[in-house]
Structure 1
Amino acid sequence: MAFTIGDMGKATGTKIETIRYYEKIGLLPKPARTTSNYRDYG
């Protein structure tokens, strides 16, 4: 089961936009992707 960006946001109390921004600037590593091209933080 994939741990999506929505799950990550709920677990950390962080907005999805913030997580995407952190990935963009390199603060977070780019996560793996599912076959449907969703971010998988699992």
Structure 2
Amino acid sequence: MAPDSVYGVGNSYAFDTIGILHTGKSFPDWRLEVVNVPVPVD
């Protein structure tokens, strides 16, 4: 949930989250990396 959404602001979230999909030669080698990005909330 992003801090710039109504839900994020109402719950004082100070971060945004993105996912990076790392693919491999076969599907079982795929990995999802979750990255939390701090965002100042005024």
Same fold (TM over 0.5): no
Quick one: higher RCO (CA 8 Å, sep 6+), 1 or 2?
Answer: 1
Larger relative helix fraction: 1
Larger relative strand fraction: 2
Structure with higher Rg: it is 2
When normalised by structure 2's length, the TM-score is 0.22
